[in-house]
Amino acid sequence: MPAKIIDGNALSKQLRTEIATNSAILTAKGTKPGLAVVLVGSNHASQIYVRNKIKACHDANIYSELINLDENTSQVDLLRIIHELNENPSIHGILVQLPLPAHIDSYSVLESISPNKDVDGFHVANAGALMTGKPLFIPCTPYGCMKMLESIEYPIRGARAVIVGASNIVGKPMAMLLLQAGATVTICNSKTKDLSAHTKEADILVVATGKPKMILGQMVKPGAVVIDVGINRLPDGKLCGDVDYDEVKYVAGWITPVPGGVGPMTITMLLQNTLEAAEHFHQTR
């Protein structure tokens, strides 16, 4: 029997309805949640993601501003704009869409966002808070993956989790979240020897490598939950994940599709983080 699908679109719909209700309640109390989305340049995929974020805000009763800057914007100008957003009381969340153009130092830019408005959870203060088990904002993609596991009531405590990919945005925070939920966690990276030996042991397998269809059926433990974070565009224009879905669906117990899996959940958790930022602002104003 093929794996059950964890439908990111359906789960997002349900969560976004709750977020929209809570945003409306907070607005009635005097604080309308506000998100600023900063896009530098004209990367085609980034333009789509940013457009989807702005629309999702609108549908969830969240105010949003898109700051679309020229590809050649200097780092100094970008930092000045972020400084202004840090000071703007109508904006509770700030997001700088990645990747940034090569002449800009992403680390400096992400560090310039006030940790209280860092709804991506990328600031080192937020990464550190997550590591100590007291997160302020959880990075949206791993947060979404955890919600997907929660939606199927997966018993994480004592499970063996393997994460393929060690990025600051996905792999490392995902490891922290699974560890805090009681899993025994292995993080694999591009230098890992005998990757299959690790992946075949996983009850929960999270893949975030950016390599299309690299996880094959024979690399997966029968019955495992497989969460595919990859979004790759093939030469024929179709999207695929880092998991060979057509093979792995006959081995796994649960699987996330691409498209319609982790991607929409990333945007949903951005809305959730923006709402939480606004609630925090409202309580401390």
Q: Where are the beta strands (DSSP E) in 165-216?
A: 184-188, 204-207
| Whole-angstrom distance, CA of residue 172 vs CA of residue 164 | 10
255 is in an annotated binding site: no
Which two three-digit tokens encode residue 146? 């955890």
Q: Which of 210, 259, 280, 282 binds ligand LMY7XDAE (CB under 6 A)?
A: 259
Question: Per the residue annotation, which of 4, 7, 32, 53 is the catalytic one?
Answer: 53
Question: Does residue 97 have an active-site annotation?
Answer: yes
Site for ligand LMY7XDAE in 69-98 (CB under 6 A): 95-98
Which residue, among 143, 166, 148, has the nearest Cα to 225 in the 3D structure? 148
What backbone torsions phi and psi does residue 207 show, to the nearest 5 degrees?
Answer: -120, 120
Residues 200-239, mask of contacts with ligand LMY7XDAE (x by CB under 6 A): -------------------------------x-------x
Task: Give the type of residue at 118.
Answer: D
Which member of 267, 271, 277, 278 binds ligand LMY7XDAE (CB under 6 A)? Answer: 267
Indicate if 236 belongs to the active site: no
Q: Which of 4, 7, 59, 97 is catalytic?
A: 97
Of positions 109, 126, 264, 279, contacts ligand LMY7XDAE by CB under 6 A: 264
* d(C-alpha 17, C-alpha 242), whole Å: 30
Give whichever of 202 and 271 is closer to ligand LMY7XDAE, judged by the CB atom: 271
Asked if 109 and 99 count as a contact pair (C-beta separation under 8 A), the reply is: no
Question: Looking at the annotation, which residues are catalytic?
Answer: 53, 97, 120
